[in-house]
Structure 1
Amino acid sequence: MSKPMTKTQLVAALAEEMGTDKKAAGGALDAICGLITREVSGGGAVTLPGVGKFYLRERPERMVRNPATGEQFKKEADKVVKVTIAKALKDSANG
């Protein structure tokens, strides 16, 4: 397995794909990330075609166990960000 692409590498590759400079590509990437963050934290969902869907899911109150001590305690209800990967991306990864 190869190392994950860093933000610098992603910005450089995006700039090359767009045929623009790294500053514009970095701004576009930051804008997309900010948009996804705002929408999902507000309870909405964002679908990136060919990539997947980002959404917020509420988890109910539940009993959990501390693995170090074995102690059980009640964990309050919370929210978690989920990503459903698009079928096109799954298919391309599986060849």
Structure 2
Amino acid sequence: MNRSELITAVAERSGVSQSDADSVLAAFGDVLLEAVAKGDAVKLPGLMTVERVERAARTGRNPRTGETLEIAASFGAKLTAGSKLKAAAAGS
């Protein structure tokens, strides 16, 4: 499902216009990005949790030359599926 299909489905399910559904989806994305950037977790019980995680500095290896190199610490995003999302993926 792409963005336009999602907007259409949300608009039909909620009884609002597609432009309103698009605005809500865009606002949700903005709020999610801001929260994760600040280090806050966004929890939608039963659906998912999105949080920022820290990756420690580590030693890597160039696969072409075999030379070792230091990889700096960084941040990433982690999405954890909730129970309802897991059940839907399992076909339940």
Pair in the same fold by TM > 0.5: yes
CA–CA separation in structure 1 for the residues paired with 2:3 and 2:59: 38
Q: Which consecutive residues of structure 2, in runs of 5 or more, have no partner in the other structure? A: none
Could you say which residue in structure 2 is the equivalent of 1:24? 20
For the aligned residue pairs, the C-alpha RMSD in angstroms reads 1.2
Letter in 1 for 2:61: R
CA distance in 2: counterparts of 1:55 and 1:12, whole angstroms: 28
- 1:39 lines up with 2:35 in the alignment: yes
Return the letter of the residue paired with 1:37.
L
1:58 corresponds to 2:54 = yes
**Structure 1 residue 65: Cα displacement:** 2.2
Deviations 1:40-76 (A, max 9, x none): 1101110123321000011111011233443321000
The question of 1:15 aligning with 2:11 is answered yes
CA distance in 1, matches of 2:63, 2:12: 47
Unaligned runs of 5+ in 1: none
**Per-residue deviation at 1:28?**
0.4
* Aligned match of 1:87: 83
TM (norm. structure 2) is 0.90
> How many residues were matched structurally?
91
TM-score w.r.t. the length of structure 1 is 0.88
CA distance in 1, matches of 2:26, 2:57: 34
